[in-house]
Structure 1
């Protein structure tokens, strides 16, 4: 039985709305998931994130493994108690972070060592069938992560949803390597499921991850292979293409391959406004991305301006004397309390933490309202018109 109860479907697309049930509560879908990378949504308190309308956050297995360590978090009775967020948590597998450090001898295949000069802090040392050896970016210590390690860490964290360990191939590897890597990811999936069946926390959901890069046959085969396993959900990861049209095509291959599957679908690392709209149309139930919080920390606000990627960069000097609000009618603290773009620009320029907090609150509030609009439109049968209005920059 699927953890996702699909309550509404859009007749013109693969979009669907419902409720995803987990041990720590329900997630209204489709939903955006803010990142709590190191056991916190940066600059915000848990109740502030909840009050913005979010049901779930994402913790980062790799970073929490390095510091403070999963055993320490276990002694605090898990990640929920450790960080004071007692609603659902999804944890990634750590695979993306491990492989984003650099593949070293990826072209030389599994048993190679990193080339001279690359054996330094924060680098992969070897990719083997058992897993990946790498140097910690904190202190250069040699560490190992494989399927069982990843699942053990996520078990100690006690997340509601755990993602299996996978290899995230970079965009520039060959089709042959992508195929071999994808097949290895499927073997790692089986090992993750075996570990979880024997030792995993009761009630924790496990998502498999579709790979295959930008090759249609490999992506479809991988998605079907993941769906053939007893996973609780299916995530779409890896290289999604060089631009937005290619990304939408890759995602469409995956969701079309499991169009009738009732299990939840998660799109990894995607959170731009237009990508969320299109992703919902393609049948994605949940998304995660660092975009809104990272932009806020760097002085950028999400606004109704599709011609500028829905962004306004307050670091620009032209906002020094601006008495405009960030977004008229926005209920976030930055807008509701009447702060001007000029004042927020000053805070950003002065590197005041208040500015980072206000912009982070605003950006997350914007995406929360966006997802609310999409959920309501699916339920009301108005998704086509609503999506067109949102793409035109009409979000009250």
Structure 2
């Protein structure tokens, strides 16, 4: 299923191939979000044309609408959205718990939030069986537990299903984090049991490491998850800290406890510098809403570390700028020759074409970056390429970076 091709001698980085029911994923790879069975603003053929091997669908959102039963009736998620390549589905745990952080915070402090459950999308209760919450669509009461999540993902027919976990918020104290992590491990076993009895042929399951920012809890959780031999891969989730330095310290603790033979997925991380550091630490796949989200808000990825690799084209300074979106960029948006002034105008006029163009550009930027990082590992020049990215080199300039 997963084969490692090359290991970087100076880091944990490696390249490989993840063989799944609907095709192969070249690793390390960035995985765009198709949260609601679509990469926002794009047609599926456009995402495929960019060269992505896999997309991520979201169990929570598809459970609420249109419903997993309907998607199964219509032939599964691949047929429903007309994507014939691999799909990974998030378990819904992050969405369930991120919507109820206020309620969880009150539980941590030892008091109930009487009004929290009245909010649409709020958690009503966290029990051993699972989580009751209010739908953000209509306020109706819904329930999701380990078996529910696996049942939904089985109906969707994804290539990779993630286990249901409690995504502990950053403000959780050690005692709560420890209890939550232990519950996540029990839920992991229930997910595996359900999948062994009912899971669709060809679908593999990833476990999720929790433990917050406590080193011993993280390492212990990684060991617990790695001990489940039925898992096809392992994801790193939960709160990773308050800054990048702490985040990658937590990731490194985790990596040191994980087996080399299984693929590793880093949940919700996709900034340019984070992808580079994640590759150095041996992450095989990443997912993040960033490139599509900032595109919808008028921002484009550019090789400028001081500005977080982005430019905000909605700002007035670009009103008369005749310069291209990004000189030398081979993406279809830049090849079309759109000026920054034109894109600024479209954004101010609320024309959706601007969102599409910027989304295409941002995804193409990250796809080219990951391709160059794979080549760099294979050719023994990752250190030079990583340094070039951090100094502001564009992805298409990295082929010349030599060790």
Q: Does 1:146 align with 2:120?
A: no
Q: Does 1:222 align with 2:248?
A: no
Q: Distance in 2 between matches of 1:144 and 1:301?
A: 38
Instruction: Point out where structure 2 has 5 or more consecutive residues left out of the alignment.
Output: 397-403
- Check the 8 A contact 2:116/2:123 in 1, yes or no: no
Alignment of 1:240-389 (within 5 A): 240-258=240-258, 260-389=259-388
Q: Could you tell me how far 1:99 is from its partner in structure 2?
A: 0.2
Q: Could you tell me how far 1:108 is from its partner in structure 2?
A: 3.4
Deviations 1:143-194 (A, max 9, x none): 1000000000000000000000000011001100000000000000000000
Deviations 1:189-208 (A, max 9, x none): 00000000000010101000
Give 2:175's aligned residue.
Answer: 176
Counterpart of 1:283 in 2: which secondary structure? coil
Counterpart of 1:221 in 2: which secondary structure? helix
Give 1:78's aligned residue.
Answer: 76
Q: Could you tell me how far 1:110 is from its partner in structure 2?
A: 12
Choose which of 47, 64, 67 in structure 2 pairs with 1:66. Answer: 64
Q: Distance in 2 between matches of 1:107 and 1:262?
A: 40
Q: Could you tell me how far 1:120 is from its partner in structure 2?
A: 2.4
Q: Could you tell me how far 1:82 is from its partner in structure 2?
A: 0.2
Distance 1:284 1:329, change over 3 A: same
Instruction: Point out where structure 1 has 5 or more consecutive residues left out of the alignment.
Output: none
Give 2:93's aligned residue.
Answer: 95
Give 2:399's aligned residue.
Answer: none
Q: Could you tell me how far 1:46 is from its partner in structure 2?
A: 1.2
Q: Could you tell me how far 1:261 is from its partner in structure 2?
A: 2.3
- Check the 8 A contact 1:112/1:126 in 2, yes or no: no
Q: Could you tell me how far 1:111 is from its partner in structure 2?
A: 11
Distance 1:383 1:294, change over 3 A: same
Q: Does 1:193 align with 2:195?
A: no
Moved over 3 A (4+): 105-114
CA RMSD of aligned residues (A): 1.4
Counterpart of 1:50 in 2: which secondary structure? helix
Q: Distance in 1 between matches of 2:223 and 2:95?
A: 25
